[in-house]
Amino acid sequence: LISEGLKRVILDQLGLDDWDLQPGTTAAEVPGWDSLSHASIIAAVEDAHGVRFTVREIVGMENVGQLQALLDRKKG
Amino acid sequence: MLLDQPVFLLFLGFSLVAFRLTPVALRWRTLLVLSLLFYLSFSAPALLLALIAEAGIAWAAARGAQRAGDGPARVRWLVGGAAALVAVLVCVRIAGSPGALPAWWPAGGRLATSLGVSYFTLQAVSYVADVSLGRIRAEPSFGKVLTYLALFPKLIQGPIERAGSLLPQLDAPRIPGYEGLRSAALLFGWGLFKTAVLGERLARIVDPAFARPEDFGGLAPVLAAYAFAFQLYFDFSGYTDMARGTARVLGIELTENFRAPYLASSISDFWRRWHITFSRWLLDYVFAPLHAAWRRAPILGTAGALLVTFGLSGLWHGFAWHYLVWGFLHGSGLAVESVARRLRRGAARGTPGGRLAGVLVTFHLVVLAWVFFRAPSVGAAMAVLASVLQPAGGTARLVDAAGGWLPVGLTLAACGGYALVSWGRKLRVFDTLARHAPVRWAFYYGLVVAILLLRQDGAGFLYSQF
């Protein structure tokens, strides 16, 4: 499942009050989450959780579930 | 052998027979042989070697990346493979640009054309990248990778297909039934009408104004710039329709490349509608990694990534300043839009009037950039733009240069017919009309007669030179 913390950071960046973010949700399904906003969402997630992703990890992410799994792995 | 030449229809008929006689599981091999024969028809065997070399590099790099697991070796396979592929492209493009080579350059190292190489290189890079990023599995068969790159309907000027979409279709391609063949033939015929009738006739208006800008002034260069915007659209989207129709006959679905681009309400919207497979390629393999790497500088990072991406897009069309300026104009427009979007975040959605204004402004910015794309140099583009300020009166001369009022009137009428049919398709008028066989067949015969009567022989497809 997607943690409340991750969900809040993403929605804040997109200016959305609420959205049903599931592990299989892709960026294209969320209003405003496109190639231009993707990098700033990732940067905000990094800042909020004190982690750093590599370029390959960022480019290779295909859905919110992969972002959550990567975040969990980084935080140990 | 280009798709609009009568000999191509013979080749397609021969292909269908060969395809039909091959067991379904082996048809990709028939497609491979046909594609290699098609490429050989351009009498440039060096290009065939470049194609096979790129397929070999892509096949080996993808397998290497997959074997490397999650470690840094995977990135090395990606970077090494992509660099080798781009090196092949650069060498072929240099050898295929006679004007760029010094006089002492040996004749054996010169190529008459670099047809198709830019397109299959982008597809080869995307294949290696997709495997390296874990999006798809590496294809064990070298022959299938070669078929993916070489598939003849899209070999010369795209669409730029992804391996994830095309490779699975090679497993068991089937000739479609009546309905599939009918839609394929219609797509092919509609595409031929766009390129051979509309595109080539518009060229008659465009070419004189860009060849001798000093002869025209006032409205004439403006008309020529508009005409070029539509010439390029009809020529390129027409080719894509023909390529998609051809592939459909052989049981392969290619990606749509255009979606009413001149109705875009912003530059970013334009790139979601124009040469879609190319802009997605740029977005996924150039912009995304750059933007991710520069994410700590939100505004400058985005602007920088856009400028570099579209600068490279310009250079992909040719190593010339005017293409670079064209790319930078689009990159700058997108950068301005991204900043405006940040400032506007959370603001109310646009009104219909605002959208209309957006469409008009975007269209004119795109036309302005096309002037740099079409002109042979930055100086020539500036001369065309400056000629707008010259005394008016060149319109009649431009019409004369285009062959007189009758051909120009026919061209405009044909463009109007195109707009009407497109509008009717959007409103689904034809879904109703097409149920009546006489109406349907009248349209088919009308299309064939229009092509036979109005077609013009020209310099071939504009985008095949890139």
Structure tokens at B420: 């009407």
Q: Which residue of A has its CA nearest to B136?
A: A60
Rounded distance, CA B235 to CA B201, Å?
10
Q: Please report which helix (H) or strand (E) contains residue B461, including its range.
A: none
Query: Could you tell me which of B166, B183, B431 has the C-alpha nearest to residue B277?
Result: B166
Query: Could you tell me which of B78, B283, B244, B251 has the C-alpha nearest to residue B175?
Result: B251
| The predicted structure's pLDDT at residue B466 | 65
User: Which positions 21-40 of A are in contact with B (Cβ < 8 Å)?
Assistant: 35-36, 38-40
Q: Which residues of B touch A15 (CB under 8 A)?
A: 345-346
Rounded distance, CA B101 to CA B304, Å?
32
Q: Which residues of B touch A35 (CB under 8 A)?
A: 283, 287-288, 291
Rounded distance, CA B109 to CA B120, Å?
21
Q: Which of B133, B295, B341 sits opposite A56 (nearest CB)?
A: B133
How far is Cα of residue B413 from the mean position of the Cα atoms in its chain?
A: 26
Structure tokens at B315: 């250079």
Query: Could you tell me which of B43, B386, B101 has the C-alpha nearest to residue B225?
Result: B386
CB contact under 8 A, A43 and B345: no
Helix ranges restricted to H, B135-263: 142-150, 152-155, 163-166, 178-192, 200-211, 219-249
Interface confidence (ipTM) of the complex: 0.88
**Cα angle value B99/B104/B109 (rounded, 5°):** 70
Q: Which residue of A has its CA nearest to B79?
A: A56
What sign does the dihedral B175-B177-B183-B188 (CA atoms) show? positive
Q: Compute the half-sphere exposure of residue B315: CA atoms within 13 Å on the CB side of its CA.
A: 12
Q: Which of A36, A58, A62 sits opposite B292 (nearest CB)?
A: A58
Q: Which residues of B touch A38 (CB under 8 A)?
A: 288, 291-292
Q: Which of A15, A39, A56 sits opposite B291 (nearest CB)?
A: A39
Structure tokens at B322: 């005017």
| Residue located via tokens 């009407």 | B420
Report yes or no: B305 and B287 within 8 Å, Cβ to Cβ. Answer: yes
| Residue located via tokens 């290779």 | A60
Q: What is the pLDDT of residues B238-267, one digit of tens each?
A: 999 999 999 999 999 999 999 888 888 899
**Cα angle value B256/B259/B260 (rounded, 5°):** 150
| The predicted structure's pLDDT at residue B348 | 53
Q: Please report which helix (H) or strand (E) contains residue B441, including its range.
A: helix B437-454
Q: Which of A15, A36, A42 sits opposite B292 (nearest CB)?
A: A42
| The predicted structure's pLDDT at residue B396 | 77
**Cα angle value B15/B21/B24 (rounded, 5°):** 95
Query: Is the minimum CB–CB distance between B292 and chain A shorter than 8 Å?
Result: yes
Q: What pTM was computed for the model?
A: 0.86
CB contact under 8 A, B75 and A62: no
Report yes or no: B280 and B298 within 8 Å, Cβ to Cβ. Answer: no
CB contact under 8 A, B292 and A39: yes
CB contact under 8 A, B288 and A35: yes
What sign does the dihedral B133-B139-B140-B141 (CA atoms) show? negative
Chain A: closest CA distance from residue B69 (Å):
13
Report yes or no: B237 and B259 within 8 Å, Cβ to Cβ. Answer: no
Interchain CB contacts (distance < 8 Å): A and B: 45
Q: What is the pLDDT of residues B99-147, one digit of tens each?
A: 767 777 777 667 777 789 999 999 999 999 999 988 999 999 999 999 9
Structure tokens at B139: 């294809």
Query: Could you tell me which of B309, B53, B280 has the C-alpha nearest to residue B158?
Result: B280
Report yes or no: B125 and B160 within 8 Å, Cβ to Cβ. Answer: no
| Residue ranges in chain A whose pLDDT is less than 50 | none
B14 Cβ neighbours under 8 A, 6+ residues apart: none
Structure tokens at B191: 């595409």
Task: Enter the DSSP assignment of B346.
Answer: T
What averages of pLDDT result for each successive group of 10 residues across chain B (466 residues)? Answer: 83 90 90 94 88 97 90 89 94 78 73 84 96 93 96 92 95 86 88 84 84 80 89 91 94 92 90 94 94 90 94 89 95 91 67 83 94 92 86 74 76 75 67 73 80 70 64
B357 Cβ neighbours under 8 A, 6+ residues apart: none
CB contact under 8 A, B133 and A59: yes
Q: Which of B287, B295, B345 sits opposite A42 (nearest CB)?
A: B295
CB contact under 8 A, A60 and B293: no
CB contact under 8 A, B288 and A62: no
Q: Please report which helix (H) or strand (E) contains residue B447, including its range.
A: helix B437-454
Query: Could you tell me which of B226, B184, B72, B55 has the C-alpha nearest to residue B127?
Result: B55
CB contact under 8 A, B302 and A36: yes
Rounded distance, CA B213 to CA B226, Å?
15
